[in-house]
Structure 1
Amino acid sequence: MKVITIRELFETKKKDLALSLVTEPETLNKKLSSQFINRPGLALAGYLDVFFSDCLQVFGEVEVRYLQTLPEELMLERMRRIFQMDIPCIIITKGLTFPPSIEYLANDLNIPILSSRLSTAQLIQLLNRYLLDVFALEKTIHATLVEVFSLGILLTGKSGIGKSECALDLIHRGHSLVGDDLITIRLIDDKLIGKSSRDLGSFMEIRGVGFVNVERMFGIERVRKQKEIDLQIELMPWQENIDYERIGLANNYAEHLGIKLPIIYLPVSPGKNVSVIVEVAAMNMILKVVGYDAAEDFNRLLHEQIRKQTLQKPVVT
């Protein structure tokens, strides 16, 4: 389970969320392990039987105004009960403030309080986007990720099979590199998003040449920070005894983080232009998306031809 500190959230999103720290800096060491957000209206009314204490607690104008209607002793009692649930953080919206007694109580119980100038709806929308990204399921695999005709193509296969060389040829042909060698795949909104696992720039290792910088060599338009993965192409050595797909009617899938991804098993042999085949696979997938399947079309025409030949064949009596 991934965990971040409130300090990380504060320092990363301070500007975007218009945040300021209300409590002492030491409270920022509090940890957050949930991607969800809670508005504690019922908790303020005294109902804590169902309370999501591991979530960020957002206090909008409704919550703050309600606290102001309570006698100070009751207000402190309600807030103390919430603080004692070991909540990770409170964020107040619209630049509103708590009474000094609540701030003192939060410092005493080590509960960070942040204030945002954004409206409640704006803050929750931006926070949801940030937390979804931070806590997304992810895994890292040995692969190369390129963008070909706006599709994210994940090239996989054994080390030395030619993934980087294929990607380099695709870049030379006008396509883009997302990452080489190690790719982190993240599950965001039921989509697989890939990016380079190493924050070392757009470098590629080409055997016999060494490292090349794609951005410096081909231009910044040939690199991408991240890309949704649409298709996986597994490069594999050609073997005579394997029955490779020849028509394209069969649909094969690989599974990553619980999501099925279309996969093509592509045999590699000397003299084969793999990058052109990758381009064709990408264009073929685009045609399938818009409703045309070449394999099904070929199969239909073949059956029609067989049927016509059968009808034209003379009957022997």
Structure 2
Amino acid sequence: MKEITVNDFFDAKKKDLALSLITEPETLNKKIGSPHINRPGLALAGYMEIFAADRIQILGETEVRYLQSLPEEVLISRIRDMFKMDIPCIIVTKGLTLPPVIEYLANELNIALLSSRLSTINLIDNLSRYLREIFVLEKTIHATLVDVFGLGILITGKSGIGKSECALDLVHRGHSLVGDDLITLRYIDDQLIGKAGRDIGHFMEIRGVGFVNAERVFGIAHTRKQKNIDLQIELMPWQENMDYERIGLVNNYAEHLGVKIPIIYLPVSPGKNVSVIVEVAAMNVILKSVGYDAAEDFNRKINDEIRKKTMQKNFEGKGDETGRSDSNQ
């Protein structure tokens, strides 16, 4: 599980979240280990049975007014009980003023107390977005990612199979490159998103040519910073005795970071126009999304044809039997 220190968070977002430190700098040494935040209303009321102590705690106007209304001995008891849970830090919104005893207890128990000029809603929105980015699930794989007809297509396969060459041809045909060779996959807001694994631009390694800067060669309109991944195409060497999918009724899936995406195992051989097949695969996915499945349509028509021929054969058979019956009379 990822962790960041409160000090790193404060330095990174001090300006964006209009943060200021109320307690001593030494209180910034705690670690944040959760992408979530918490408003500790029940904890302040004395109910500590279910308390998300590992999260950043947010005190808005409601919580501050409640604390200001408490008798001092009750306030001290409630705050001390909450601070003993070893929370990472507390952020007070709207620049509101807390009772002085809270600052004293925060310094005593080494809890960072921060103040933000932002409203509670704005702070929660911006802070949640930042924490999602920090704690997002991610992994980096050897692959190439392209945008074909608006679909993010992850091209995978063994080194030297032709991933970069396929992507180069697709970009030449008007599509867009997201990244080549190394792709970082991230799970954000229930979406699998891919981006280049190295932040050095849209370079491609083409064997026999060397490095090509796709952005300079084809223009910035043919590159993307990131893209939702809709389909994976695994390039694999052609093998004579391999049982490849020929109709398309079987749906295969690959799983990345807990997300399943359709995968096509595409055999490649000299002379095969892989980029055109990738385009057709993309259009097939788009058609499926609007309710048309070519494999099911083909299967239905074949079954209809078999049914018609069977009915015709049965009809002709009955006719023959009737003719023989008449002749016997």
Same fold (TM over 0.5): yes
Identify the residue that residue 326 of structure 2 maps to in structure 1.
Answer: none
1:174 aligns with 2:174: yes
Change in Cα spacing, 1:209 to 1:11, as seen in structure 2 (3 Å) is farther
Q: Quick one: distance in 2 between partners of 1:129 and 1:17?
A: 12
- State TM-score, norm by structure 2: 0.90
- State TM-score, norm by structure 1: 0.93
Unpaired segments ≥5 residues, structure 2 = 322-329
The DSSP-based 3-state class of the residue aligned with 1:208 is coil
Identify the residue that residue 99 of structure 2 maps to in structure 1.
Answer: 99
User: Once the 2 structures are TM-superposed, how far is the Cα of residue 47 of structure 1 from its aligned partner?
Assistant: 2.3
Change in Cα spacing, 1:123 to 1:224, as seen in structure 2 (3 Å) is same
Q: Quick one: distance in 2 between partners of 1:213 and 1:268?
A: 26
1:220 aligns with 2:185: no
How many residues in Structure 1 have an aligned counterpart in Structure 2? 317
Moved more, 166-175 or 148-157: 166-175
Identify the residue that residue 274 of structure 1 maps to in structure 2.
Answer: 274
Please list, as runs of the form range in 1=range in 2, the aligned pairs for 1:118-267 lying within 5 A after superposition: 118-267=118-267
The DSSP-based 3-state class of the residue aligned with 1:94 is helix
User: Once the 2 structures are TM-superposed, how far is the Cα of residue 8 of structure 1 from its aligned partner?
Assistant: 3.1
Moved more, 291-300 or 113-122: 113-122
Identify the residue that residue 31 of structure 2 maps to in structure 1.
Answer: 31
Change in Cα spacing, 1:191 to 1:25, as seen in structure 2 (3 Å) is same
User: Once the 2 structures are TM-superposed, how far is the Cα of residue 73 of structure 1 from its aligned partner?
Assistant: 4.1
Superimposed CA distance per residue, residues 65-121 of structure 1 (whole angstroms, 9 cap, x where no aligned partner): 111112334323322222221101111112212234422432333222222222222
Q: Quick one: distance in 2 between partners of 1:12 and 1:282?
A: 40
4+ aligned runs moved over 4 Å, structure 1: none
Identify the residue that residue 57 of structure 2 maps to in structure 1.
Answer: 57
Q: Quick one: distance in 1 between partners of 2:128 and 2:12?
A: 14
- AA paired with 2:118? L
User: Once the 2 structures are TM-superposed, how far is the Cα of residue 278 of structure 1 from its aligned partner?
Assistant: 0.7
Q: Quick one: distance in 2 between partners of 1:25 and 1:215?
A: 45
1:88 aligns with 2:69: no
Q: Quick one: distance in 2 between partners of 1:91 and 1:118?
A: 11
User: Once the 2 structures are TM-superposed, how far is the Cα of residue 44 of structure 1 from its aligned partner?
Assistant: 1.4
The structure with more radius of gyration: 2
Unpaired segments ≥5 residues, structure 1 = none
Q: Quick one: distance in 1 between partners of 2:260 and 2:214?
A: 30
Identify the residue that residue 294 of structure 1 maps to in structure 2.
Answer: 294
Superimposed CA distance per residue, residues 265-304 of structure 1 (whole angstroms, 9 cap, x where no aligned partner): 0001111111111111111100000000111111112222
Q: Quick one: distance in 1 between partners of 2:279 and 2:269?
A: 17
Identify the residue that residue 325 of structure 2 maps to in structure 1.
Answer: none
- AA paired with 1:172? H
Moved more, 42-51 or 263-272: 42-51
The DSSP-based 3-state class of the residue aligned with 1:262 is strand
The DSSP-based 3-state class of the residue aligned with 2:17 is coil
Superimposed CA distance per residue, residues 228-258 of structure 1 (whole angstroms, 9 cap, x where no aligned partner): 1111100000011101111111111112222
- AA paired with 1:59? L
Moved more, 90-99 or 145-154: 90-99
The DSSP-based 3-state class of the residue aligned with 2:94 is coil
- AA paired with 2:139? K
Identify the residue that residue 324 of structure 2 maps to in structure 1.
Answer: none
The DSSP-based 3-state class of the residue aligned with 1:233 is strand
1:2 aligns with 2:5: no
Higher helix share: 2
Moved more, 156-165 or 202-211: 202-211
Q: Quick one: distance in 2 between partners of 1:40 and 1:90?
A: 10
Identify the residue that residue 21 of structure 2 maps to in structure 1.
Answer: 21
Q: Percent identity?
A: 75
Superimposed CA distance per residue, residues 14-38 of structure 1 (whole angstroms, 9 cap, x where no aligned partner): 3433333333334333211111211
Q: Quick one: distance in 2 between partners of 1:28 and 1:196?
A: 33
- AA paired with 1:203? F
RMSD: 1.9
The DSSP-based 3-state class of the residue aligned with 2:95 is coil
